């Protein structure tokens, strides 16, 4: 019996040693950046420049694993809508343990000063369709964490470091001129409010409501869901969106015309951010 106890204690000590060794080794692992887009057209500019790509498939979801600007990256299509985006984000975090996660792609313009090809870096994001719908209208509320059951704020804010890198990229990046009926124009890059809902907004009335109620600059269908998952799982995140339409009566036609331009511009900003990450010392993961 005594020998059994000694062996048990020895095995326990070895297990603790191995666990502590693994925990100590984790921060030295090469950092990896995960980049999500809702559909392939949003990610095509990134797929084209990944070096050494290989495909991995988890639960039927396809991931492109390789390097971008010397940084280890995983690029993946999430699918359209909040449920799809949340599911794939959770899978990414569980399997790849990313240092940060960036969502990029297109959006409808709510800010009247924005035009197709302009970029909004989300300084904050919110679910515009979560809350209480009453006779007075929509009362937007924050979601509750499934782990703590505490209510999240209505507006979720990205990682400050990633936001600073995005702002730096925006000041430096030179995007191609856009031909308009009034001549050429240089795309604008602003920091603003990006709101999310499970509807494609093509309504001047809804556009005005989102601007008034939430101060929205752009509207899309995935960002706040990604932000919520990353916030709860303590992964630094950032949302980058380029305008494809005006979220008005012409939106369904404009999104077909300007998706390629908007996807290219948002991807170029993300590439610059990834390049900056590659040039910096590895940051500790949240919670470490």
List the domain boundaries for the chain: 29-277
**What is residue 287's predicted lDDT score, i.e. its pLDDT?**
44
Report CA-CA distances (Å) from 108 to 132, 147, 195, 216, 255: 24, 32, 10, 10, 8
**What is residue 282's predicted lDDT score, i.e. its pLDDT?**
61
**What is residue 111's predicted lDDT score, i.e. its pLDDT?**
98
Assess whether 245 carries a catalytic annotation: yes
**What is residue 224's predicted lDDT score, i.e. its pLDDT?**
98
Assess whether 136 carries a catalytic annotation: no
Query: What is the per-residue pLDDT across 23-34, written as a single tens digit (0 to 9) for each?
Result: 333 444 789 999
**What is residue 182's predicted lDDT score, i.e. its pLDDT?**
77
Query: What is the per-residue pLDDT across 80-138, written as a single tens digit (0 to 9) for each?
Result: 999 999 999 999 999 999 999 999 999 999 999 999 999 999 999 999 999 999 999 99
**What is residue 25's predicted lDDT score, i.e. its pLDDT?**
34
- The CATH superfamily assigned to 29-277 is Nucleoside phosphorylase domain (3.40.50.1580)
pLDDT > 90: percent of the chain: 83
Q: Which of 217, 245, 254, 272 is catalytic?
A: 245
Per-residue pLDDT of the chain (288 residues; tens, 9 = 90+): 444 334 333 333 333 333 344 333 344 478 999 999 999 999 999 999 999 999 999 999 999 999 999 999 999 999 999 999 999 999 999 999 999 999 999 999 999 999 999 999 999 999 999 999 999 999 999 999 999 999 999 999 999 999 999 999 999 999 999 987 778 999 999 999 999 999 999 999 999 999 999 999 999 999 999 999 999 999 999 999 999 999 999 999 999 999 999 999 999 999 999 999 999 876 554 444
Which residues, including other chains, have CB under 8 Å from residue 96's CB and lie 6 or more apart? 32, 34, 63, 74
Query: In this structure, is the dihedral angle defined by the CA atoms of residues 288, 101, 165 and 212, taken in order, positive or negative?
Result: negative
C-alpha to C-alpha distance for 104 and 88, rounded to whole angstroms: 14
**What is residue 28's predicted lDDT score, i.e. its pLDDT?**
42
Report CA-CA distances (Å) from 91 to 53, 64, 240: 20, 14, 21
């Amino acid at each position: 019996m005594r020998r059994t106890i000694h062996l048990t204690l020895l095995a326990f000590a070895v297990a603790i040693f191995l666990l502590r060794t693994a925990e100590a080794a984790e921060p030295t692992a090469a950092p990896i950046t995960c980049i999500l887009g809702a559909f392939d057209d949003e990610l095509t500019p990134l797929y084209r420049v990944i070096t050494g790509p290989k495909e991995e498939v988890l639960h039927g979801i396809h991931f492109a694993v390789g390097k971008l600007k010397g940084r280890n990256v995983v690029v993946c299509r999430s699918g359209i809508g909040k449920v799809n985006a949340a599911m794939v984000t959770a899978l990414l975090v569980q399997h790849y343990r990313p240092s940060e996660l960036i969502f990029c792609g297109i959006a409808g313009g709510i800010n009247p000063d924005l035009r197709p090809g302009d970029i909004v870096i989300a300084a904050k994001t919110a679910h515009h369709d979560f809350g209480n719908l009453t006779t007075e209208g929509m009362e937007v509320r924050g979601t509750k964490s499934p782990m703590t059951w505490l209510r999240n704020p209505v507006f979720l804010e990205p990682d400050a470091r990633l936001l600073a890198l995005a702002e730096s990229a925006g000041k430096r990046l030179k995007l191609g001129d856009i031909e308009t009926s009034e001549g050429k124009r240089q795309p604008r890059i602003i920091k603003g409010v990006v709101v999310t809902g499970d509807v494609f907004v093509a309504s001047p009335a809804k556009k005005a409501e989102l601007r008034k109620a939430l101060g929205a600059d752009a509207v899309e269908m995935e960002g706040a869901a990604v932000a919520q998952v990353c916030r709860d799982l303590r992964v630094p995140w950032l949302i980058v969106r380029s305008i494809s339409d005006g979220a008005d009566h012409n939106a369904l036609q404009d999104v077909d015309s300007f998706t390629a331009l908007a996807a290219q511009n948002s991807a170029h900003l993300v590439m610059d951010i990834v390049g900056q990450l590659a040039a910096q010392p590895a940051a500790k993961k949240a919670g470490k």
